[in-house]
Amino acid sequence: MTDLADRSISVAFDDNRLVPLLYGEHDTNLLRIEHQLGVSLASRGNQVTIRGGEGAADRALLVLNTLWERLGRGLPVAAADVDTVIRFAEEGGGAPDALKRSEVGVRTKRRVVTARSGNQASYIEALESHDLVLGLGPAGTGKTYLAVAQAVAMLIAGRVDRIILSRPAVEAGERLGFLPGDLKEKVDPYLRPLYDALHDMLPPDQVAKHMETGVIEIAPLAFMRGRTLSNAYVILDEGQNATAMQMRMFLTRLGENSRMVVTGDISQIDLPPGVKSGLKEAIEILDGVEGVAFVRFDHRDVVRHALVTRIVRAYDALDRKRREGSP
């Protein structure tokens, strides 16, 4: 076990107006750093003394200095920002360059969405530079949210003319006709996560207006056959529940000046037994194809409640045991 007294570092901050924002209300930011990095922080006025193992103390210093720089640029330091900087410090082993990636982000009308892990930073970079991106991994890793943010940013910048949102029904779309209401009402329950993300990026009146005019379009996967999607940003969410035939159909809809993103978690396939997931097949077929980027997330990228990370980790461990044939 690491001795907290291995190393002691003192750091002073020179703007007394910003110090309370750095520490957080009732020193909550300092407590988060203590808890997550296993160090002890003692504050007195504008000075903080860090005690901990050599690596942990150095990372805590880097985290404090990074948060201080954020405040100096007028950026907020909320609990989520503290967690993000800690995450990058741990992933990068305390290297300052690693923390610079925490500033990789997407600007929309309502907010700037920044990466909260190294994989999220890679995902944002891939969304910017590739025509087809597959975001793979568990729930809560930001796959869908970041894809919608990039779509809105490109729409605002005039780089695409419309956003098309798609998601397979568990039954692959064949039973939508039995549900009450028009097409939008039938598919709305499946697309709610995409709507939620849209309303985070755009004012509600703009979302409604764009949907009325077709700038933002709801296109159930089962209804996309025969179309060519040009000048569009197209998102297929929950791609693991598309059949192989549907996935092939979807991917070949890509038109000129368009981008596509497919998100999914191949550990959460809801297709009937014996039906192959189109996402699993696409991963095999498209590996190495020019213009296609794969970004794989894991439990370390989960940005929901901390318990979600532990739940995902527990299920991953169970999956590994099953693959290895353990009881």
3-state SS track over 268-317 = CCCCCCCCCEHHHHHHHHHCCCCCEEEEECCHHHCCCCHHHHHHHHHHHH
Length of the chain in residues, anyone? 327
Confidence of residue 98 (pLDDT cuts 50, 70, 90): low
CB count, 10 Å around CB of 156? 15
Pairing of strands 132-136, 112-114: unpaired
pLDDT over 70 for what percent of the chain? 87
Q: What is the rounded average pLDDT of the residues 140-164?
A: 94
CB count, 10 Å around CB of 60? 29
Q: Which residue's entry shows tokens 């296109």?
A: 219
Burial environment of residue 165 by CB neighbours within 10 A (0 to 12, 13 to 18, 19 or more):
buried
8 A C-beta contact, residue 119 and residue 148: no
pLDDT of residue 246: 94
Q: Does 241 have pLDDT greater than 90?
A: yes
pLDDT of residue 327: 55
Q: What is the rounded average pLDDT of the residues 163-176?
A: 66
Confidence of residue 305 (pLDDT cuts 50, 70, 90): low
Longest dimension (CA), the chain: 67
Q: What is the rounded average pLDDT of the residues 104-119?
A: 82
pLDDT of residue 257: 94
Give the integer Cα–Cα distance in Å for 113 and 85. 14
Averaged pLDDT of the chain? 86
- First CA to last CA distance, the chain: 32
Q: Does 243 have pLDDT greater than 90?
A: yes
pLDDT of residue 2: 44
Q: Does 139 have pLDDT greater than 90?
A: no
Pairing of strands 259-264, 232-236: parallel
The answer to which of 28-32, 197-201, 218-222, 323-327 has the lowest mean pLDDT is 323-327
Q: Does 186 have pLDDT greater than 70?
A: no
- Rg of the chain over Cα atoms, rounded to whole angstroms, equals 22
User: Between 264 and 304, whose confidence is greater?
Assistant: 264
What are the φ and ψ backbone dihedral angles of 286, each rounded to 5 degrees? -90, -5
pLDDT of residue 1: 41
* DSSP secondary structure of 206-261: HHHHHHHHTSEEE--GGG-TT--B-SEEEEE-SGGGSBHHHHHHHHTTB-TT-EEE
- Please list, in sequence order, all residues whose beta carbon lies within 8 angstroms of the beta carbon of residue 101, skipping any fewer than 6 positions away: 88, 92, 115, 118, 121
Q: pTM above 0.85?
A: no
Q: Does 298 have pLDDT greater than 90?
A: no
Q: Does 172 have pLDDT greater than 90?
A: no
CA distances from 317 to 81, 98, 310 (A): 29, 28, 11
Beta-bridge partners for 51: 8, 40
pLDDT of residue 311: 80
Q: Does 171 have pLDDT greater than 60?
A: no
Q: Does 179 have pLDDT greater than 60?
A: no
